[in-house]
Amino acid sequence: MALIFTKDNFASETSNGVSLIDFWAEWCGPCRMMSPIIDDLAKEYEGRVKIGKINVDEEMELAENFGVSSIPTLVIMKDGHEVKRFVGLTQKAVLASALDSFLG
């Protein structure tokens, strides 16, 4: 299961290693379509990548800090820094390939 990132745990959860952050909202149809993909990736990369979700309605400050203007927005971070971004529905294989490239 994917983690839930909030302003309280975001920095500590993403400061080391590779993370995938899914910016989403309940009312967003494409976000709901991404949800099972994110959950699958969380299982497959458990222990290697921190995968979590940020509800943009509940964590507006984090969404603003990342300049999120469309959802779903998926951000890959390495050691606390953004290294890749996807906007819109993204295939699982594309995300997995990107994660693998940063796990090196």
- CA 35, CA 8: separation in Å to the nearest integer? 22
| Residue 45 a catalytic site member | no
Given the candidates 3.40.30.10, 2.120.10.80, 3.40.50.300, 3.40.50.720, the CATH classification of the domain at 3-103 is 3.40.30.10
The active-site residue, picked from 2, 20, 31, 98, is 31
Which residues have a Cβ under 8 Å from the Cβ of 14 and sit 6 or more positions away? 5, 21, 50, 77, 80
- Domain boundaries, given as residue ranges, for the chain: 3-103
| Per-position pLDDT tens, the chain of length 104 | 899 999 999 999 999 999 999 999 999 999 999 999 999 999 999 999 999 999 999 999 999 999 999 999 999 999 999 999 999 999 999 999 999 999 97
| Residue 18 a catalytic site member | no
The active-site residue, picked from 25, 28, 83, 96, is 28
At residue 103, the pLDDT reads 95
